Amino acid sequence: MAFRSCVGVIFLGCLVVLASSAVPKAKGRKPVNPPTRTINDNEKKAEAEAEITNDCPEDGFFADAEQCDKYYECRAGNIIEKLCPDGMVFNDYSSQEEKCDLPFNLDCSARPKLQTPIPQLHCPRLNGYFSHEDPKECGKFYYCVDGKFNMITCPDGLVYNDKTGICTWPDEAKKKGCGAADVFDFDCPAVNETFGLTHPRYADPEDCQFFYVCINGNTPRRSGCKLGQAFDDVNKKCDWARKVPECADWYKGQLTDAELDALENPPTAKPAGSGGSRRKPNRPLKGSKAVEDEE
């Protein structure tokens, strides 16, 4: 048995953020070449912050030196070996706190071993966030608690990134089969470099509420206007659907005029819709996820 004590792991509070924009990326964690646990001078130098010992350093909770979900409680010289719930790992930011967390944002590279998984339906381990079994279901994932799953769908246009446990843009997730070209039925029009740097926006030809932002002119990210609004491809911004000629009737059958009036706060006089949508006339199936606050 060997402990790690006083390990300088920075604790980042937020584990999982489901956001429709500006999703931060976690640091890359590559548990390759884990250091061996024999203590030598090099290792002491390399891990100046971590002290490997077989004795209870003091009362408190201490991480196992090899296994990220195993830890020890020391009380008056007695050592009790403990295990986090399957899927969680011991957070050793403070020896005074007994805390198991999901592995995102925790660095297990120096103690990469884990307990044998206890898989359940859709849950490779009892706890955690897991990709959908179907690799084509890029935006779906499971949240498992005690082996019970909940399927979660990322906001429109985002892809579940199993390295960070968050929904993010397809070009950021870099998930095989889930790139922008796989997920979106949209190609950014060719533009010159100068114009590309303005991240041009284009209406989604299939859905009035949505538009594509072409990052650097070439990488599409799908984004949405809020409920009641449509992307105005002339002025390149979201506006009330009734003010966007080709989308004037977009919410017909989904929202009543009174509801649209209520959304357009303060209510305005109803402009005559000019009809003749060049886009598909079916109304949106989903609600107003991934909306952009823009008026």
Contacting residue, 11, 80, 195, 286, with ligand NAG by CB under 6 A: 195
Tokens standing for 170?
């397809």
Please write down the HEC assignment for all residues of 182-245: HHCCCCCCCCCHHHHCCCCEEECCCCCCEEEEEECCCEEEEEEECCCEEEECCCCEEEEHHHCH
CB nearer ligand NAG, residue 116 or residue 192: 192
Contacting residue, 194, 266, 269, 275, with ligand NAG by CB under 6 A: 194
Cα separation, 6 vs 200, whole angstroms:
49
Neighbours of 38 (CB within 10 A): 7
Asked if 42 is part of the footprint of ligand NAG (rule: CB under 6 A), the reply reads no
Of 40-48, 131-139, 191-199, 233-241: span binding ligand NAG (CB under 6 A): 191-199
Q: Which residue has the tokens 């990220």?
A: 68
Of 45-53, 112-120, 174-182, 192-200: span binding ligand NAG (CB under 6 A): 192-200
CB of 218 to ligand NAG, least distance (A): 14
CB nearer ligand NAG, residue 191 or residue 263: 191
Of 19-27, 189-197, 202-210, 242-250: span binding ligand NAG (CB under 6 A): 189-197
CB nearer ligand NAG, residue 163 or residue 201: 201
Q: Which residues contact 49 (CB under 8 A, 6 or more apart)?
A: 6, 7, 8
CB nearer ligand NAG, residue 41 or residue 193: 193
CB of 195 to ligand NAG, least distance (A): 4
Kind of pairing between the strands at 291-292 and 219-225:
parallel
Tokens standing for 285?
């199936």
Of 39-47, 186-194, 210-218, 237-245: span binding ligand NAG (CB under 6 A): 186-194
Asked if 192 is part of the footprint of ligand NAG (rule: CB under 6 A), the reply reads yes
| Cα torsion through 22, 23, 27, 31, rounded to 10 | -160
Give which of 198, 170, 203 is closest to 184, Cα–Cα.
170
Of 71-79, 188-196, 247-255, 286-294: span binding ligand NAG (CB under 6 A): 188-196
**Binding footprint of ligand NAG on the chain (CB under 6 A):** 191-192, 194-195
